[in-house]
Amino acid sequence: MCRPEPARHCGSMTLIEVSDLRKSYGGRPVVDGVSLAVEEGEIFGVLGPNGAGKTTAVESILGLRVPDSGTIRVCGLDPVADRARMTLIVGAQLQESELQGKLTVAESLELFAACYPRPADWRTLAARLGLEEKLHTRFAQLSGGQKQRLAIALALIGSPRVVVLDELTTGLDPGARREVWSLIEDVRASGVTIILVTHFMEEAQRLCDRVAIFDRGRIAALDTPSGLVAQSASGTVISFTPSRPLEEDVLAALPGIASLTHHDGRVTLAGTDETVNAVISLLARNRVSAHQLRVTDSTLDDAFLDLTGAEA
């Protein structure tokens, strides 16, 4: 069963199509009418608070869960009905992946490589993911970060056309995380389509071409990272400590202002570029000095909070 017939080549630019996907547990809808399309060669991000339905939606795309209703096609294949052919075009690294504890890293990579007609060079993958010195280490003896790296290698070993990565850098230190990001960028450059489920906003902002933000089983927003940031109510954030107090109603009347807070004498305003110019003019007119003045652009974090009201 390890070598099903090769799947047909994908000809369409839209590689993954999901239409009105629904899934409930115990009468509670977990995925509630999700529709999306993923283009060939893009990195498509999936964000959302815990319990938002993102993992259920992604596992349905993989054929690991059977939807209650709706349709899913991956390169024209039904993930459930065409399961054998799907295994040749889709690789996956899931949140919780366990192997037999006595298997070494090398044995695991060799075993998975034997299941594909044209596997990637597992030694090259191991080296790229920092596993070269762990080839003879048993799975049970690996650290959490090392197990994560091995899971990523196993997802890529079949030279898939589509890869699903669920929290791929959880457990990795900042340096290792950036190395994995570089690898993912290389994988995408080779034409592989990637679905990336993540809680790291920096990761999504750097890697993803488009991002779907899930909330309460539905897609709250779907756009490029920059497009989502542009939707944020706090497009620009200005913070400073005035040399003397400014009247609250004067600050609140500034153009483009979205929010205004005070903390230990420090003023923080969220607004637009017009707000920045108005603040500078206000300070000049009133001859007020702005100590530790900071002007920063809104981030994907801000957009996420605006759209869901929850932390990632």
Beta-ladder partners of 162: 90, 193
- CA–CA gap between residue 76 and residue 86 (Å, rounded): 10
> What contacts 139, CB < 8 A, 6 or more positions away?
98, 99, 100, 101, 102, 103, 104, 105, 108, 147, 150
Cβ proximity of 215 and 307 under 8 Å: yes
> Residue 213 above 90 pLDDT?
yes
Sign of the alpha-carbon dihedral angle for 242, 244, 250, 252: positive
pLDDT digits (tens, 9 = 90+) for 34-82: 999 999 999 999 999 888 999 999 999 999 999 999 999 999 999 999 9
> Residue 1 above 70 pLDDT?
no
pLDDT for 6 equals: 39
Cβ proximity of 55 and 61 under 8 Å: no
pLDDT digits (tens, 9 = 90+) for 84-101: 999 999 999 887 778 999
pLDDT digits (tens, 9 = 90+) for 33-46: 999 999 999 999 99
> Residue 219 above 90 pLDDT?
yes
pLDDT for 95 equals: 72
Whole-number average pLDDT of the chain: 88
Please, what are the domains in the chain?
A: 14-224 (3.40.50.300), 232-308 (3.30.70.980)
**What HEC string does 7-53 produce?**
CCCCCCCEEEEEEEEEEEECCEEEEEEEEEEEECCCEEEEECCCCCC
